Amino acid sequence: MKNLLVLLIVLFAFNCKGNTQKKTQKAYTVSKTEAEWKTQLSDQEFYVLRKAGTERPFSSSLNKNYKEGTYVCAACDTPLFKSEHKFDSGTGWPSFDQEIEGNVAFGSDNNLGYSRDEEHCAVCGGHLGHVFNDGPRETTGKRHCINGVALKFIPKK
């Protein structure tokens, strides 16, 4: 019995994550302190972009914007989506069938108890929204469901 207890203690000690195995955060090209982001962004932008929040559906004027142009990150102006890839998903958030390659990065979000594919700006790390596999089948089949407050629209000249 004593040997079993020692074995369990040894296994426990080697399987636990110690302080030396901390998660490392990706270094982004645009990197600011929380205080700097708070001075640059509105409360709602900060909540969505820096705290991975979600705006209310149908609250963004960009949801029904069908003008030609480019959607850029509201935090760092990185071009993220082109207007020709925007479609009305009926979800209440601006939706796109593809991103501008290399400017959007992906990760996993397990905050709701199941895994979703999260999207964030590849330059500043700002949370954008999520991508799902229920988009238009005639194109990519993807629905990039993006918080409008995370975007700025730059009209085509």
Pairing of strands 86-87, 104-109: unpaired
Rounded Cα distance between 134 and 149, Å, is 23
Rounded Cα distance between 95 and 130, Å, is 10
Residue 94 is encoded by which pair of tokens? 């601006």
Per the residue annotation, which of 73, 121, 124, 145 is the catalytic one?
145
CB 102 within 8 A of CB 94: no
Is 145 one of the annotated active-site residues of the chain?
Answer: yes
Q: Which of 147, 119, 118 is nearest to 58 (CA)?
A: 147
Which parts of 48-113 are beta strand (E)?
69-73, 79-82, 86-87, 95-96, 104-109
Rounded Cα distance between 87 and 39, Å, is 33
User: Which residues are catalytic, by number?
Assistant: 145
